[in-house]
A and B are shown apart, each in its own frame.
Chain A
């Protein structure tokens, strides 16, 4: 069976040297796990390597010189349809497939407090519930026979509906896509199924210690804010089919939609087809619930969840930054030095020198609508829990105590600037990135200026932002583990609050 390495379920069949660090995720800017990133500057010259041009086989890799890289920031085309819907297009005829993703402003941040989970259920059932013309079973059969897929998903702050198809089935798949987006059926049986699956997910939310810790940290950082809520049995039960229909009516309209299309299509035909398919879709006035900013009142907390396991999950963090923060670039450089790769201070000390953990890292999530969190994380055996927490804290503290070395600064800047091109390695990634820049209203020139902005960061900047944005005195610490076996009581770090794992 041919498969790529990601398609084989949740069972570990391989062991990696390292978890893929968030950096890769940031640069690819495709998974929606972080902000779109990019940069500026240009290099000229020959693209491919010149074999045999440089050193002998014993060449010292530290001193190799390379031909310049030919890289221009790829551009996609932006078109606005008559309805106001924006379409980004990037043709790529290498393979006979087409990918399309719609971005809509909708999300769980708008969920009513007694119906937390509404956006998630809407995301699941928009596609699974069929359309007004096409019953769910029929939609499933027709799509799967063509090997086409349409999927929908609603996140904290955006809705996605995406399509993937062989070129020869584009026309029909696009018609079905338009049905799903404009006239979803929310079939009652499929709605009930989605709700019962959400209930089962809640029942299972305490199975994996790592997800417990991440969830509890998020809830602590965003206490009292929609970003800190999770669905409960009652809030899911309260969601009705009518809620889903109104949800769709409220948030799904052309002026609230941006499309990103890549692959093997004919530009004129595609645009004409999109105009036709979405011609009758009515616009209406925007109406988004007001969501306040998360509280800036930051305070330290120590939270413990008892689990009888031989390894403790440690997460700590606090409210961080927004994408429009002028210190964004200095923070990215600091982030890289502190917790961003094999060479980071956290990995070198906690993993490589002391052998205390397999996974250790830290990162600022760049917030797009609201401030994102700063998070530091690791897992270590119960008996070294205190040692690892103390080390994490002291290494984070070290960032604010003295300037980083010139070598650290140069490595971080070179790594970020030189790997910038990997954000543009696929046409679907490029066109989605363009769509997201507009969707989240990034400033003009964000990608164009990115590398120059990184290049400008100094050691003084890194120290300044470490002092300004890392707050050890306001750190929320979450530990999931067996406290009988800890080397130090968690009370070392403050008054401990026990979290009882209950299914509510």
Chain B
């Protein structure tokens, strides 16, 4: 009771500090929503004549059906291939060849899926046909024309990424080139042509080998997630399983594209040397007439409550790694803020509980970290991961982690621990604004997954209200054997 009252006083102090800064960021963000539903967030900053422009589509790998696994990511790659006017010398001549490629590729896929019954001659004939059609189409391709135009205009960091929750296209531009961005990106949103589809599929297969098949830690990560979710698409790999990727088609990708990659599902953040009113006018001019697409439907399936511990072993040519995950709700659920506190108590810095115990005191591990993953739109996992230090085993590290998790259930967090967490969050509020890109990232991310970018300014107040009792309750509720997923690498002998 005494603790509660004292933290009540503390709370008042922190609240005013947080509110004060929050208003600072609130004043800096300009918002505008187009009639077609596209959301525009802008922050003018004049440190240098540069601008970060992020476009976030609220559609990611969780929105794929089982025969579409890997599609959001492959489509992300395909949207670099141009439009009806960019990346081609003659779309009218190119289009019929692209359609013949598609028909041939689908026939080939169908034949191969007969597996043992597949006719080798047919496979060979169709493969040859596909290759020669691709050569024919190649004649019309202007290679990497988006990248070429952006590069010669001095753009930097042109890239895109796909997560469970969304797909984001990013670039930094000299401030005088914003019209270039509007012109290219509005064209890409309406007129994308998925040329060179089956070559790019091979690129993605190489990406998969590079990140998962040939990298033991990557393999543990994807297997661990797949095992942790029996039903929810949070468990399916963003990149897709190899056989998923091999059976994606341009037709499926176009269906996905035309339904969802539209202004109503897009959030745009523009941070840097801009004038918000002029930026709104520019964006209205280029994006205002684009018709909305379909809203992304909610995911119906819910992960059934786990009924017992699940253990995932990956035997690999690597030293042991360990990860332990517990199912939990996602933001902005009240318990998610409690997990943020637990995350910082456990692994934030050299004074954190797990670092103290595992790395400094018992020296069982060389490093330990915690985080929420794999996405934020749906209930996810709180994960603790650690690298054991020989001769100590993953099992020793695992049991030491449980001891610390159990301590959370019975020993109240101290006032000083919470104070340290709030100080850290205050610092992070500034740090996240150091770069235009970092701020654009956070604005698009939290607008998309929390429904409002103001999550960023309210977060510290919410955390400040968390009590030691909350931490104990959440630890008791979620850190149970039934709710636990344990993944580890065992070194191949």
Chain A residues near B (Cβ < 8 Å): 1-5, 8-18, 20, 23-24, 27, 46-52, 54-55, 57, 59-62, 64, 66-71, 74, 92, 94-97, 128, 140-141, 144-148, 164-166, 193, 196-197, 200-201, 203-204, 207-210, 307-311, 313, 341-343, 347-348, 351-359, 379-381, 410-411, 414-415, 417-422, 424-428
Contact = CB atoms under 8 A, between A and B. Distances in A.
B118 to A, nearest CB: 20
B66 interface: no
Interface string B426-444: 1110111111101001100
A11 B373 CA distance: 10
B217 A10 contact: yes
A121 B273 CA distance: 43
A414 to B, nearest CB: 4
A341 B371 contact: no
Question: Number of contact residues on B: which range applies?
Answer: 35 or more
B43 to A, nearest CB: 11
Contacts of A428: 434
- Please list the 7 inter-chain residue pairs (A to B) with the smallest Cβ-Cβ separation, ordered nearest first: A418-B154, A355-B202, A342-B147, A311-B209, A51-B282, A358-B207, A147-B427
Contacts of B183: 55, 57, 59-61, 64
Given A1-B340, A47-B176, A61-B183, A411 B151 contact: yes
A311 B289 contact: no
A360 to B, nearest CB: 10
A438 B432 CA distance: 29
B67 interface: no
Given A15-B161, A207-B318, A71 B49 contact: yes
Given A69-B176, A193-B360, A419 B154 contact: yes
Contacts of B455: 2
Nearest to A17: B160
A422 B86 contact: no
Contact of A47 (B138, B209, B273, B375): B273
A176 B389 CA distance: 31
A23 to B, nearest CB: 8
B131 to A, nearest CB: 12
Contact of A13 (B158, B209, B374): B374
A357 B427 contact: no
Contacts of B433: 94-95
A418 B153 contact: yes
Nearest to A65: B179
B176 A57 contact: no
Contacts of A24: 156-157
Contacts of B359: 193
B362 to A, nearest CB: 11
A481 to B, nearest CB: 9
A410 B149 CA distance: 12
Contacts of A47: 46, 49, 175-176, 273
Contacts of A351: 203
Given A15-B238, A209-B214, A379 B209 contact: yes
B372 interface: yes
B360 A2 contact: no
Interface in B440-466: 441-442, 446, 455-456, 459
A147 B431 CA distance: 11
B77 interface: yes
A246 B103 CA distance: 72
A138 B103 CA distance: 69
Contacts of A27: 156
Contact of A425 (B206, B221, B435): B435
A48 B278 contact: yes
A60 to B, nearest CB: 7
Contact of B351 (A20, A144, A203): A144
A353 to B, nearest CB: 7
A57 B286 contact: yes
B319 interface: yes
B76 interface: yes
B36 interface: no
B90 interface: no
B456 A421 contact: no
Contacts of A354: 199
A51 B203 contact: no
Contacts of B221: 11-12
